[in-house]
Amino acid sequence: MKLRHPLTLDTYEVRTDGTVLVKTPDGVDGIFRDNGEWVRGALREADPHLLGFIAGPQIKRGPRAPDVPTGGGSALPPQLSRHSRSENGGNREMDLGLEGRKAIVTAGSRGIGLSIAELLADQGCDIAICARGEEALQAARANLEARGAKVCTASLDVSDGDALEAFVQTAGEELGGVDIFVSNASAGGGPGLPAWEHAFEIDVMGTVRGIGAATPFLKASDAGSVVVIGSTAALEFLGMPQAYNAMKAALISHASDMAQALAPKGIRVNVVSPGPIYFEGGNWEMIKQAMPAMYESALQQCAIGRMGTPEEVARAVVFLASPAASLITGANLVADGGFTKRTAF
For residue 123, what is the domain's CATH number? 3.40.50.720
Handedness of CA 321, 325, 326, 328 (dihedral sign): negative
| Catalytic-residue membership of 12 | no
Domain count, the chain: 2
- Per-residue pLDDT in tens (0 to 9) along the chain, 345 residues: 677 776 677 888 888 888 999 999 888 999 988 878 899 999 988 887 778 777 765 433 333 333 444 555 445 666 655 543 344 445 556 789 999 999 999 999 999 999 999 999 999 999 999 999 999 999 999 999 999 999 999 999 999 999 999 999 999 999 999 999 999 999 988 778 999 999 999 999 999 999 999 999 999 999 999 999 999 999 998 777 889 999 999 999 999 999 999 999 999 999 999 999 999 888 888 889 888 988 999 999 999 999 999 999 999 999 999 999 999 999 999 999 999 998 877
Distance, CA of 64 to CA of 251 (rounded, Å):
33
Q: Which residues pair with 126 in a beta bridge?
A: 102
Measured between alpha carbons, how far is residue 20 from residues 47, 93, 342 in Å? 11, 53, 32
Measured between alpha carbons, how far is residue 230 from residues 69, 247, 312 in Å? 25, 9, 15
Catalytic residue selected from 12, 244, 278, 295: 244
CA angle (30 as vertex; 45, 11 as ends), nearest 5: 85
Distance, CA of 248 to CA of 203 (rounded, Å):
7
Handedness of CA 339, 113, 102, 255 (dihedral sign): positive
Does 147 share its domain with 36? no
Does 163 share its domain with 304? yes
Report the run of H or E that residue 86 belongs to, with start and end. Answer: none
What domain range is 49 assigned to?
2-55
The answer as to whether 191 is a domain residue is yes
Distance, CA of 242 to CA of 247 (rounded, Å):
9
The answer as to whether 13 is a domain residue is yes
For 94, list phi and psi in degrees, rounded to 5: -65, 135
The answer as to whether 90 is a domain residue is no
Please report how many Cα atoms fall inside a 13 Å half-sphere around the Cα of residue 120, on the Cβ side.
35
Q: Largest Cα–Cα distance in the chain? A: 74
Does 245 share its domain with 177? yes
